[in-house]
Amino acid sequence: MNSPAACSQSWSISEDSLRRYVQFASESCIQELLLSASDSESKKFGINGNDGWKVVTLENEVEISKRRSGSLHIFRSRWLLRSVSPEQFITVANAIDAAKQWDSDLVEARYIKDLEDNLSIIRLRFGENSKPLFRKREFIVYERRETMEDGTLVVAVASLPKEIAAGLHPKQNDAIRGLLLQSGWVVEKLEDINSCIVTYVVQLDPAGWLPKCFVNRLNTKLVMIIENLRKLVQPTPPKI
């Protein structure tokens, strides 16, 4: 029999309730992603806003920015991908391919449940040989994919609340369940050329004991994965 303490840490909810919750949560995440992309676009045209983003580095058409949110920063990268269409890039803009780029010691990545054609629940588990940020950690996340009216492609990925995640997939062994507070892609097509602008946002709390400054430093590297994903869809550089 489960103890009261154990029961209070997991929720068993119906699939319909889970679907409605994830639809609501992911809609908020999508709007945040679109706002992050539009903030960056405004700065490109010299429009300054009090949005809290601070540019960390800007070179080779790549902008890396951060914004404080609680004790952890949100990180954002924005890349112009030449000779890569939105349709090409979106094939690798997903939770599993991103996790493979975060750390090569991804020992499990599988879909737990499909709630709709564009809405899924995924488990990501990293092994003992992973970097400290991911070592022996697992994440239960939703993934939602949407195409906006103007053709912009958006993929929103974030952790389920720990109680719902525990009800869907109880934590096993000595794994540490981290939280992907928010992440995702906004892929915008450029009309005049077969290229696109990709904005990637991530805020991750690995849980367990790690200094916040250490977590923030490693989070900076996570937003650099767009270059690795580009190579998956464009193995060789375009001819000039």
Q: Which of 231, 217, 225, 218 is nearest to 184 (CA)?
A: 225
Q: What is the mean pLDDT of residues 202-226?
A: 71
Q: What is the mean pLDDT of residues 170-190?
A: 88
Q: How confident is the model at residue 42 (pLDDT cuts 50, 70, 90)?
A: very low
Contacts 24+ apart (CB under 8 A), 9-15: 9/162, 9/163, 9/166, 10/163, 10/166, 10/167, 10/170, 11/163, 11/164, 11/166, 11/167, 12/167, 13/164, 13/167, 15/113, 15/115
Whether residue 50 is predicted with pLDDT greater than 80 in this model: the reply is no
Query: What single letter denotes the amino acid at residue 153?
Result: L
For residue 147, what pLDDT is reported? 94
Higher pLDDT, 20 or 175: 20
What is the SS3 assignment for 8-44?
A: CCCCCCCHHHHHHHHHHHHHHHHHHHHHHHHHHHHHH
Whether residue 216 is predicted with pLDDT greater than 50 in this model: the reply is yes
Q: How confident is the model at residue 115 (pLDDT cuts 50, 70, 90)?
A: very high
For residue 232, what pLDDT is reported? 83
For residue 135, what pLDDT is reported? 85
Whether residue 24 is predicted with pLDDT greater than 60 in this model: the reply is yes
Q: Where are the domains of the chain?
A: 13-45+53-233
Q: How confident is the model at residue 213 (pLDDT cuts 50, 70, 90)?
A: low
Q: What is the mean pLDDT of residues 41-60?
A: 62
Higher pLDDT, 220 or 37: 37
Return the CATH class of domain 13-45+53-233: alpha beta
Average pLDDT score, the chain = 82
Whether residue 154 is predicted with pLDDT greater than 90 in this model: the reply is yes
For residue 8, what pLDDT is reported? 42
Q: What is the mean pLDDT of residues 44-72?
A: 71
